[in-house]
Amino acid sequence: MMQERIHQDAAGAILFDAAVTPQVDHDWFAPAYWRERGALRTLAGGRGGVAVISSPVGECVLRHYRRGGQMAALMGDRYLWMGADRTRPFVEFRLLGEIARRGLPAPAVVAARYVRRGLFYTADLITCRIADARTLAECLAAGRLDETLAAAVGELVARFHRAGIWHADLNAHNVLVTPGGLYLVDFDRGRLRTPATAWQQANLRRLRRSLLKLGAAVQGEAVFGQTVWQPLLEHYGRTLGA
């Protein structure tokens, strides 16, 4: 069971799970710290600035929060300060803790940090890396998105929706496929909601748009519907109502 601890200092605050590690300091959130020790294995692209680190608790993912879209030019990686409990990393940390308590497949959270600078703050999150994983987008590109995988995706999404977990950016890059099963990742801005058809269907439409944008309907939307989307919806509905 998660044991929340908070370390505060003049720079900001670190929220961590003492059941995973007894202490976390600011060095844990600095890619340069891990690079100097030969523990920064890869640095992935994308606006999040995701690093894979070999930490004392195993291989982890270090993600720096960074804005996208038009706000990126204005704000970069800064967010408006509205209190510690409303910071992006603390909210995501606690949501991942709730997801773990409900037995749903998502990354185990290690620590979250904000650094406050006047009216703004910057933020980071560390989660345990899911081994041997490929994104659904990668599976699609490799020609591996078939009826069986689509059905498993439907079941995965339904499990989260049934529990009232809303993913703010449900797309093919945030579904991980491993030999042992599927996971959802990146719960920034996600939250608990009362299960309702409106937001659940909006979530599904977002996933569908993502798949189509990545070329899932290269053989035509009729084929996509028959081989991917209908199996996904059928297993989604069956699991949601179970």
Residue 75, pLDDT score: 80
Give the count of beta carbons closer than 10 Å to the beta carbon of residue 16: 25
Q: At what angle do helices 197-213 and 147-162 cross, to 10 degrees?
A: 150
Distance (Å, whole) CA 85 – CA 73:
26
Name the residue ranges covered by the structural domains of the chain: 4-128, 134-240
Q: Where are the beta strands (DSSP E) in 56-159?
A: 58-64, 79-80, 109-117, 120-128, 134-135
Mind telling me the catalytic residues?
169
Question: Looking at domain 134-240, does it have CATH number 1.10.510.10?
Answer: yes
- Find out whether 127 and 110 touch, Cβ atoms under 8 Å: yes
Walk along the chain (242 residues) in steps of 10 and give the mean pLDDT of each run: 94 97 96 95 66 96 87 82 97 98 98 97 97 97 97 98 98 97 97 98 98 96 96 98 86
Among 109, 102, 208, CA closest to 159:
102
Check: CB of residue 21 under 8 Å from CB of residue 56: yes
pTM: 0.94
Give pLDDT, residue 44.
64
Q: Give the CA diameter of the chain.
A: 58
β-strand partners of 164: none
Q: Which two tokens stand for residue 124?
A: 């980071």
